[in-house]
Amino acid sequence: MQIIESNREQIEEQALIFSAFADHTRLKLVKILCRQRHPDALCVNALARLLGVTQPAISQHLRVLKAIGLVKAERRGYHIHYFINRAALEHCRELASMAMSTMVPVNEE
């Protein structure tokens, strides 16, 4: 019974990740932030300019990515700068890989 519960929790976590990546703007944000290194983190204004979307839209997308732990924020003066949580990114990769694996049991209800 413990294995089934563990699988359910894993599937729920995978669903959260896939849901966060379901929006093309969020995918673009992740790609941009992955190219940055921690000292070179970007603020909402810079991200909005790069993606050609409004600052409020970027803030909402960052909120979703922060909720799954993929993005971290750091205050620098008046601005908050955002960067990828590399450990969380690796965890997302592992979960996505497991979700695509043919060895995952299908008969859970």
Between 109 and 46, residue with greater pLDDT: 46
Lowest mean pLDDT among 7-16, 18-27, 53-62: 7-16
pTM for the structure as a whole:
0.78
CA 62 remoteness from chain centre: 8
Overall fold of domain 2-99: Arc Repressor Mutant, subunit A (1.10.10)
**In which region does residue 56 sit, left (phi positive, over 0), alpha (psi from -120 to 50) or beta (all else)?**
alpha
Residue 55 pLDDT: 96
Mean pLDDT of 84-89: 90
- 7 token code pair: 């699988």
Question: Phi-psi region for residue 96, left (φ > 0), alpha (ψ -120 to 50) or beta?
Answer: alpha
* 39-59 tens-digit pLDDT: 788 999 999 999 999 999 999
**What is the rounded distance in angstroms from the CA atom of residue 64 to the CA atom of residue 101?**
26
- Give residue limits of the domains in the chain: 2-99
Q: Using 50, 70 and 90 to split pLDDT, how confident is the model at 26?
A: very high
